[in-house]
Amino acid sequence: MTTTTFKTEAIAIKAWAEKRIIYLELTDGRIVGFPADRFRILSQASEHQLKAVHIEVGGHALRWEALDEDLTVSGIVAGQFQLPLPRQQAA
C-alpha cells in the first residue's frame, strides 16, 4: 500500500472574531478557531478590539494594531499557545 502525503504550509486568507474565538480560513480550505484567552494580550482585549484582526505577511501572521499584538499562523495551527486552557473548558 502506498500513502501519499502532501505537506502544506498554513497560510490564512481570512480572519475574524466571534464571541472571543478567533477564526482563520486557510488556503487549503480548513477553518481553525482558538480562544482569545489562550494569549496574554488577547485575553485582556475587548470583543471590539478582537474583531480588529488583520492578516499580514502574505497570510503568515495575524495583527491587532491597537493591541500591538502579532501571532504566526503556523504557531496557531500547531497549537502553540501562551496560556493553558481555563479549567472549566479543560474538563
Q: Tell me the pLDDT tens digit for each residue of 46-89.
A: 999 999 999 999 999 999 999 999 999 999 999 999 999 877 65
| Cα–Cα distance for residue pair 91/81, rounded to 1 Å | 18
List the helix and strand counts (H, then E) for the chain.
Answer: 4, 6
The pTM score is 0.84
Q: Bridge-partner residues for 18, per DSSP?
A: 21
What's the mean per-residue pLDDT of the chain? 92
Confidence at residue 2, expressed as pLDDT on a 0 to 100 scale: 74
| pLDDT of 6 strictly over 70 | no
- Class at the top of the CATH hierarchy for domain 12-90: alpha beta
Task: Please report the pLDDT score of residue 34 as a whole number.
Answer: 97
Q: What distance in Å separates the CA atoms of residue 21 and residue 51, rounded to the nearest whole number?
A: 10
- Rounded to whole angstroms, how far apart are CA atoms 2 and 13? 32
In angstroms, the CA 82 to CA 57 distance is 21
Mean pLDDT over residues 13-40, rounded? 97
